[in-house]
Amino acid sequence: MYQSFTDNELREAIRASTEEYQLLRSKGSALKWVLQVAEALTSMQGELNRRLALRSRRASSTGMS
C-alpha cells in the first residue's frame, strides 16, 4: 500500500523537484509543478505516518515513551 523511501531518495526527489521547478517556472508552468509536488507530498505522508507508528510501537514494546 505504501511506497517506502530512504532518506537519500527523499533528498534526491527534493533536489530533482527543485530543478524541475526552476525549468517549469521559466516556462510559466509553476502551477503544474506545485500540483505535482502536492501529490508527491501526500503520498510521502503515508510513509512518514507508517514510520512514526513503527517507532511508537517499538518504544511502547520496550517500555520507552
Q: What is the pLDDT of residues 7-55, one digit of tens each?
A: 888 888 888 888 887 877 777 677 777 888 888 888 888 888 888 899 8
pTM above 0.85, yes or no: no
**Angle at alpha carbon of residue 15, lines to 12 and 19, rounded to 5°:** 135
Contact 13, 4 (CB under 8 A): no
